[in-house]
């Protein structure tokens, strides 16, 4: 084996070997988290005792993505809540109920929806994806909840007041048209919230760690390897030695059990 194909016991995190000719290469004992082996020739390669999966960089990216998606969900849920409460109050009780105290309490409810929605979504994305980061996600959720209440209360009150004014105008114009408009818009907002919630929950686990898509892994050895969040989809895996590899949350071909 040439020296250029000897990667044994090296830190190879986040390196790209995409499309490379690595026939007979020795990766034994290497850290290959975050590596890209897509469409590589890895016939008879040695991946014994490797550590594969998400790298720290990939984990940070997935965490940031989870934060952004959770924030988007919380904002959408807050707007949907404001619209629902302001319209129902205005439609049932009329605009006489709208005063400073009503705006205050609607704003409080909206802030709580934002804080709780963000916290559940952000921490839930870590728990479902199996990422060991709840000890970080929980403090971030608490800080975000406090910041939303402390800095966002004035902005939320403006939104609530504006919603009441818009709804008052629509009800004065035609209450039936206003009701039909609400029944058309609110379900769309709720559907959007649910869609964003699903994306946020799944965002942390959609980022693949080590990639082996379409690679030729014939007669490759993964003896005693730790394989987490790896993608082996469409890879050629004839006579691969998996014993006794630890395989968890990996994308495997449908015929994996028969290989």
User: Given this model, what pLDDT does residue 133 score?
Assistant: 55
Compute the distance between CA of residue 232 and CA of residue 38 in angstroms, rounded to an integer.
9
Helix 100-129, helix 56-93: angle, nearest 10: 150
Compute the distance between CA of residue 94 and CA of residue 75 in angstroms, rounded to an integer.
27
Q: Where are the domains of the chain?
A: 27-54+209-259, 57-206
User: Given this model, what pLDDT does residue 1 score?
Assistant: 46
**pLDDT < 70 regions, the chain:** 1-3, 127-136, 203-206, 255-259
User: Given this model, what pLDDT does residue 195 score?
Assistant: 87
User: Given this model, what pLDDT does residue 51 score?
Assistant: 94
Compute the distance between CA of residue 217 and CA of residue 49 in angstroms, rounded to an integer.
16
User: Given this model, what pLDDT does residue 124 score?
Assistant: 77
Query: Could you tell me which CATH class the domain 27-54+209-259 is placed in?
Result: mainly beta
């Amino acid at each position: 084996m040439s020296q250029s194909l000897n990667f044994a016991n090296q830190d190879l995190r986040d390196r790209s070997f995409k499309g490379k000719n690595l026939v007979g290469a020795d990766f034994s004992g290497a850290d290959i988290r975050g590596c890209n082996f897509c469409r590589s020739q890895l016939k008879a390669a040695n991946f014994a005792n490797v550590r594969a999966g998400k790298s720290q960089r990939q984990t940070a990216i997935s965490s940031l993505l989870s934060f952004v998606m959770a924030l988007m969900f919380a904002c959408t849920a807050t707007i949907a809540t404001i619209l629902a409460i302001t319209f129902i109050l205005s439609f049932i009780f009329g605009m006489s109920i709208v005063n400073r105290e009503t705006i205050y309490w609607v704003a409080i409810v909206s802030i709580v929806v934002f804080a709780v929605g963000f916290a559940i979504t952000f921490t839930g994305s870590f728990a479902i994806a199996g990422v060991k980061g709840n000890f970080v996600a929980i403090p971030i959720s608490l800080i975000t909840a406090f910041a939303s209440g402390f800095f966002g209360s004035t902005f939320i009150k403006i939104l609530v007041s504006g919603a009441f004014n818009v709804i008052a105008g629509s009800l004065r114009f035609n209450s039936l048209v206003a009701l039909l408009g609400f029944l058309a818009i609110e379900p769309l907002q709720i559907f959007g919230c649910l869609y964003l919630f699903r994306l946020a929950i799944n965002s942390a686990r959609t980022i693949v760690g080590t990639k082996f898509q379409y690679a030729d892994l014939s007669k490759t050895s993964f003896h005693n390897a730790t394989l987490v969040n790896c993608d082996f989809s469409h890879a050629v895996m004839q006579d691969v030695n998996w014993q006794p590899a630890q395989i968890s949350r990996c994308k495997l071909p449908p015929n994996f059990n028969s290989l």
